[in-house]
Amino acid sequence: MRWVLLVYFWLFWVPAQSTDTSFQSLFVVKTDTDNNGGCAQYLDQFETFIAECKELVNAGLQVFEDAAKPVSTREGRVARSYLWTYFRINDDAQAMASVKNYLTRVKDFLGGETSTDKAHLYCNDEWLEKEHLTDAAKDKDGNDRWQDYPDGSRAPYAIFQIPEYREYLFFKNDDGMWEPISDKVPYWSDDLKDYIFDSDYEGGTYCTPAANLAVTQERTTPKTMTFCPRALRSRNYVTRTLGSRAPTRGDSIQVNVPLSGTLYHELFHLVIGNYHTYDLEYLWSKQQKALEINPYQAVKNQDRDYLSLLRENPETYLFFSVGYWYFQQTRWGTVAKPNRRWSFHSGVAELIQ
Ligand SMILES: [Zn+2]
């Protein structure tokens, strides 16, 4: 009898597990410390973030279902406006499929579908040790890498001498000579037994500049996501949780983004890859201005135009998803006006019937 029960338990438990994902089932995290990138004090907060990210991606995908409804319906009308305002999509089927695909891939990740090693997620940048280019290079076991000279002597390789690091530290100048990229330094991770290469941050680290919130890097296997502590605390112009602040008429979508928005943004980098999620623009007002001037304008150092990059910009997905999430909420209705919703289909908050 017990065996039968056990079999039934497994039958039901396994499918439930694949949809009911948690923070710790999606990422490798240090749960017992706040040091060296550990997230001990933020575990509950990240569960909330994951739950909110699932709501956001569902809201984003709902736009596509609603946009297929007749334009005579409120949902059909509003959903079409969201697609136009945020992505400049009217009836371009290819662009629509591409944006939907980005959202679907993030949803799949949040549902537990991942084809690569689980990413490591850190809650500060102390998991990295800054080194000098001339320091001895370490191997996958953390031991020095040695080179043998013809005279039989041996010396450790310096980090800058390792061929596979060259593309991160040097560039080929017009004369075909390798020159150091100014400001690039190696950081060693004892967790991954590997290097990443990043700015020197004027003698600081990634989290030193006040504007930095989080970053996803993919040089290492597994990939990593690093949050700065400031991204995990309440701050101006960010709501504590999704919907914890009622919008005010005329508010920009930007001031209604929740703290979990940083994770949502990083998920696009993680799942789609950094090349196809270029951070084109973080500011809603600047983005709108650029679209007004010329959506097809060239973007410095990029091989795609502004509009193409806008449709890959993580922050745009965030604005789009938060905006439509508000439109789906019924809590701001009244007895007299039960269908009243806050909507951001023009980019700013308005109450609609
Ligand atoms: Zn980004």
In-domain check, residue 320: yes
**Per-residue model confidence as pLDDT tens digits over 104-129:** 999 999 999 987 899 999 999 999 99
Final residue before a domain boundary, out of 154, 175, 205? 205
- Which H, E and C letters describe the chain, residue by residue? CHHHHHHHHHHHHHHHHHHCCCHHHHCECCCCCCCCCCCHHHHHHHHHHHHHHHHHHHHHHHHHHHHCCCCCCHHHHHHHHHHHHHHCCCCCHHHHHHHHHHHHHHHHHHCCCCCCCCCEEECCCCCEEECCCCCECECCCCCECEEECCCCCEEECEHHHCHHHHHHHEEECCCCCEEECCCEEEEEECCCCEEEEEECHHHCCCCCCCCCCEEEECCCCCCEEEECHHHHCCCCCCECCCCCCCCCCCCEHHHHCECCHHHHHHHHHHHHCCCCCCCCCCCHHHHHHHHHHCCCCCCCCCCCCHHHHHCCCHHHHHHHHHHHHHHHCCCCCCCCCCCCEEECCCCECEEEC
In-domain check, residue 86: yes
**Least reliable range by pLDDT among 16-20, 121-125, 193-197, 202-206:** 16-20
What pLDDT sits at residue 12? 45
What pLDDT sits at residue 11? 45
| Averaged pLDDT of the chain | 92
Are 247 and 348 members of one domain? yes
17: pLDDT strictly greater than 60: no
Are 147 and 67 members of one domain? no
| pLDDT band for position 236 (cuts 50, 70, 90) | confident
Summarize the confidence of residues 314-343 as an average pLDDT. Answer: 95
| pLDDT band for position 197 (cuts 50, 70, 90) | very high
Higher pLDDT, 237 or 318: 318
CA distances from 202 to 13, 171, 225 (A): 51, 21, 22
Are 172 and 249 members of one domain? no
52: pLDDT strictly greater than 70: yes
Final residue before a domain boundary, out of 163, 180, 205? 205
Residue holding tokens 């280019």? Answer: 133
Ligand 1 centre to CA of 162 (Å) is 29
In-domain check, residue 266: yes
What pLDDT sits at residue 19? 60
| pLDDT band for position 6 (cuts 50, 70, 90) | very low
What pLDDT sits at residue 235? 85
Q: Say how far apart CA 325 and CA 343 lie, in whole Å.
A: 9
Ligand 1 centre to CA of 269 (Å) is 7
Ligand 1 centre to CA of 279 (Å) is 5
Are 102 and 224 members of one domain? yes
Ligand 1 centre to CA of 265 (Å) is 6
Are 194 and 243 members of one domain? no
Domains held by the chain: number: 2
Instruction: Give the structural domain span for 252.
Output: 19-122+209-352
Summarize the confidence of residues 75-99 as an average pLDDT. Answer: 96
Are 91 and 227 members of one domain? yes
Ligand 1 centre to CA of 215 (Å) is 7
Summarize the confidence of residues 201-205 as an average pLDDT. Answer: 96
Are 82 and 96 members of one domain? yes
Are 249 and 111 members of one domain? yes
283: pLDDT strictly greater than 50: yes
Q: Say how far apart CA 90 and CA 83 lie, in whole Å.
A: 7
Ligand 1 centre to CA of 327 (Å) is 25
**Are β-strands 120-122 and 224-227 bridged in parallel, bridged antiparallel, or unpaired?**
parallel
Ligand 1 centre to CA of 308 (Å) is 16
In-domain check, residue 116: yes
What pLDDT sits at residue 272? 97
Ligand 1 centre to CA of 185 (Å) is 21
Ligand 1 centre to CA of 227 (Å) is 12
**Per-residue model confidence as pLDDT tens digits over 292-304:** 999 999 999 999 9
In-domain check, residue 10: no
| pLDDT band for position 69 (cuts 50, 70, 90) | very high
In-domain check, residue 43: yes
Are 182 and 281 members of one domain? no
Are 240 and 108 members of one domain? yes
Residue 251 sits in a domain whose CATH number is: 3.40.390.10
Are 139 and 111 members of one domain? no
In-domain check, residue 177: yes
Are 295 and 251 members of one domain? yes
14: pLDDT strictly greater than 70: no
Summarize the confidence of residues 331-343 as an average pLDDT. Answer: 92
Joined tokens for residue 192: 């991954």
Final residue before a domain boundary, out of 158, 178, 205? 205
Ligand 1 centre to CA of 246 (Å) is 27
Ligand 1 centre to CA of 309 (Å) is 13
245 in Cβ contact with 259 (< 8 Å): no
pTM: 0.91
What pLDDT sits at residue 8? 47
In-domain check, residue 6: no
Ligand 1 centre to CA of 315 (Å) is 7
